[in-house]
Amino acid sequence: MNRDCNTVSMTAPALLLAAALLSATARAGDGDGDGDSFSIPGLGLVRAEEIAAPTVSEDQLERDLRALDIAFGAPKPAVTFAGGVASYTGEVNAAGFDALSALAESEAVQTLSVDSLGGEVFWGMKIGELVFARGWDVRVRGICFSSCANYLFPAGKRKIIAAGGIVGWHGSARQDAVLAARAGISEAEEFLRKIVPAMLAGIADSGQPAPRRAEMLAGVSAEFGRHQTRRRMEEAFFARIGVAADSAVYGLRPESGVPQNAGGWTYRLADLAAFGITDVEYLGGNDGDYPPPDKRAFLGLTIATVKR
């Protein structure tokens, strides 16, 4: 799950709940918004101009996300080094990025060996940029899912999947735009339909009083601004590594054949080249032996049908 935070005038618990829930992947959206106004449970009729996303710099987003990790006590991934291999196990977050950055400066890293269910997309991109800039190979020991699949895996010079390993996707910073287009609504409406009910439920569960409508709108507008910053970063990231951004959202499209209630999707190895993801090797047998059924079932993944 991606986490974010904002600095508007919501109460601290509400702010953190909003941040934690911000980018939880919703598999579908529906609605009949006309692009100028739309109805959101908990907010009523919202005019498009009320969700004016403020400009958020990457530096500010990084500061906010670091503060959020501290507030939540984000778990530190296990990062070790031996024989040219940096081993990374756990959540994709600031602590993991800092540990890998330190290793890059002090050790002759050649390969990033990873086992991760993902994490915040910002840190996924930062680690991916480090991998790409240093020319590291990426080896998937067990699971590489979500932000790990989006950004770490395709950034590798060579991509090696160990026997029994799997790479799985379920959306990215672009997912709201894709889901909105599929539902015939605006990206802002898709974003609000996802975040506002979850925010209100979380606030109610915390025992905090519900914020006023103006406070809620200010909060979600700030969150939408951070969301847009991630979008811009992601576009630049994929252009830099020469991989199609559609790789991280393709399973949200009807032509992929991925059900909307699936946990995500994976690809046949031969299909990865359609997105510019090349130099991929599976160590568990022939390409036809991938993906392993047990890991695919564990994550609830569907094999996406890639139409060339």
Q: Is residue 2 part of a domain?
A: no
Same-domain pairing of 158 and 265: yes
Q: pLDDT value at position 96?
A: 98
Same-domain pairing of 91 and 148: yes
Same-domain pairing of 254 and 167: yes
User: How many domains does the chain divide into?
Assistant: 2
Same-domain pairing of 270 and 223: no
Q: pLDDT value at position 53?
A: 67
Q: Is residue 137 part of a domain?
A: yes
Same-domain pairing of 185 and 231: yes
Same-domain pairing of 188 and 107: no
Q: Is residue 80 part of a domain?
A: no
Same-domain pairing of 166 and 271: yes
- C-alpha atoms less than 13 angstroms from C-alpha of 69 in its C-beta half-sphere: 23
Residue 227 to residue 258: CA distance in whole angstroms: 25
Same-domain pairing of 53 and 186: yes
Chain-centroid distance, C-alpha 168: 12
Domain boundary among 189, 209, 236: 236
Domain boundary among 236, 256, 278: 236
Rg (CA), the chain: 19
Domain boundary among 236, 262, 290: 236
Q: Is residue 141 part of a domain?
A: yes
Q: pLDDT value at position 21?
A: 37
Q: Is residue 57 part of a domain?
A: yes
Same-domain pairing of 89 and 167: yes
Q: Is residue 29 part of a domain?
A: yes
* CATH number of domain containing 168: 3.90.226.10
- For residue 20, the enclosing domain spans 12-71+173-236
Q: Is residue 308 part of a domain?
A: no
In tens digits, the chain (308 residues) has pLDDT values of: 333 333 222 333 334 434 343 333 232 233 333 456 777 777 777 776 777 767 789 999 999 999 989 988 999 999 999 999 999 999 999 999 999 999 999 999 999 999 999 999 999 999 999 999 999 999 999 999 999 999 999 999 999 999 999 999 999 999 989 988 888 888 888 888 887 887 777 777 878 887 787 888 888 888 888 889 999 999 999 999 999 999 999 999 999 999 989 999 999 999 999 999 999 999 998 888 999 999 999 999 999 999 87
Same-domain pairing of 16 and 53: yes
Tell me the DSSP string of 122-166: HHHHHHHHHHHHHT-EEEEEEEEETHIIIIIHHHSSSEEE-TT-E
Q: pLDDT value at position 1?
A: 33
Same-domain pairing of 123 and 197: no
CA-based max dimension of the chain: 59
Q: Is residue 3 part of a domain?
A: no
Same-domain pairing of 155 and 122: yes
Q: pLDDT value at position 192?
A: 81
Residue 115 to residue 77: CA distance in whole angstroms: 10
